[in-house]
Chains A and B, each alone.
Chain A
């Protein structure tokens, strides 16, 4: 048996609210993600999805338990785990191509090399025409593409995404889901994708993990073809899975 790429063991995270109340965000969560999986973390808001992702990203101090990424303990953020954020995190003071090249610059890759890589990745998300633009000149959907290109340009083996398309309109969201799926298929990265959208989880995930009240309520492999169409979701198998997930979301 091979070592999982992400391994979470008995993770418990608590917060103290400003009014003094204690919040149990994650309660003894254990999870293994093998290489190449597209794992969707599904759940209602406030049930611990983002806390789980941030803890794995190293953006939160680990409470109790431990987290390993590529068999190394997680103690902070690292270039082995790229993150696509929920909020718009593209740096507004850098041109589009400099945003994409920033991680490479930090790692000391010379300007010619990093600009070549940045343009390749901008082309792969369909933004080669605006590489010299300022982020403020782009739409929200284009900025989300920049964020995707920037993460893939840095080439981390693990990709963590926190409801990256939650704020976008339906059409843009569908387009970006396709972009992300293609890049994932091409690169074979291990993806942990947080979403509150049942359809999105079923469309993208090879596995769906439902987080409810800070614990894992369901953990299912999605045995549907990849790439996946809406017809695949309308099969008896797809519909059964959808009903199960809707049930966990408290809707059925």
Chain B
């Protein structure tokens, strides 16, 4: 059994490796065919060598010169140390906004969704507003968040939290509505009151659906944090993209895009494995395939 699983894991790994190598090779072929350059003479489809040497090295332009590592803006030559520090610093800022925004959004969305599910009065008061918000394109709200809460960290966190909360709110209401009534009936005939039903029936029963909503909202949250940073922030990965876009530095845009793919992938699989452990009772916990 273990042997078979190892075999499955190995074949999946080698399969992934083949796809990766094909992608890398395909890109290199494409780059050698397309030689068009942007307005500042940077190739529009840069080769790997160019990406790793020039584009990555020039990331040091975004380093502020602290920690004793000098920055090109102070007249020093670009270094990989400064480049990696710049990327690390921007990543930390963006990740912090993302994590706090998602956590706040999940708490607010699930909390409000549960409250609305429990109370008919609250449902009539809150639900129409939230349904209108759901229809509003999230990115269209960025200027409003900029104006109200500023384009710095606080505004972006609120923006991410808002988007995540709307999805989790809808997801929670639907999840509660989808709990099979027979579970409530059985709990009632065994003597369970409202608090017990909430704690021991509603919460575990809705978890698989909430989990799906959370996975959905993570994808959205990455878009929202980048969107927020593209439009007005002074720090973070989105800002590197904004500057790179102004000079058509395709290579730098690509490097940040790779980082986003990497972080999004890590956050998905981390949440996936944690949530499987939290719901061992559910059939999805026994399945090995990943989304």
Contacts and interface: CB of A to CB of B under 8 A. Distances in A.
Given A93-B205, A136-B283, A85 B191 contact: no
A27 B275 CA distance: 51
Given A102-B200, A106-B196, A135-B281, A87 B190 contact: no
A95 B204 CA distance: 13
B186 A85 contact: yes
Interface stretch (B14-22, B142-150, B161-169, B177-185): B177-185
B182 A87 contact: yes
A77 B204 CA distance: 22
B279 interface: yes
Given A92-B281, A106-B196, A78 B191 contact: yes
B194 to A, nearest CB: 12
A126 interface: no
Contacts of A87: 180, 182
A83 B281 contact: no
A123 interface: no
B185 A77 contact: yes
Interface residues of A: mostly helix, strand, loop or mixed? loop
Interface in B200-222: 200-201, 204-205, 207
A89 interface: yes
Contacts of B205: 93
Contacts of A94: 200, 204, 281
Contact of B280 (A76, A83, A134, A154): A134
Given A91-B201, A93-B205, A93-B279, A102 B188 contact: no
A114 interface: no
A162 B262 CA distance: 53
Given A59-B185, A83-B185, A87-B182, A92 B282 contact: yes
Given A91-B201, A93-B205, A83 B186 contact: yes
A154 B190 contact: yes
Interface string B97-115: 0000000000000000000
Contact of A89 (B185, B192, B279): B185
A48 interface: no
Contacts of B186: 83, 85, 89, 91
A103 interface: yes
Contact of B183 (A59, A83, A89, A106): A89
A87 B184 CA distance: 12
A43 interface: no
Contacts of A216: none
Interface in B233-291: 279-283, 286
Given A81-B189, A85-B182, A87-B180, 12 more contacts: A57-B189, A58-B188, A59-B185, A78-B191, A83-B185, A91-B183, A92-B282, A93-B205, A95-B281, A103-B190, A106-B193, A150-B190
5 contacts: A78-B191, A81-B189, A93-B281, A94-B200, A136-B281
Interface of A: 57-59, 76-79, 81-83, 85, 87-89, 91-95, 102-103, 106-107, 134-136, 150, 154
Interface of B: 180, 182-183, 185-193, 196, 200-201, 204-205, 207, 279-283, 286
Closest 5 CB pairs of A and B: A103-B190, A93-B204, A77-B188, A79-B191, A89-B186
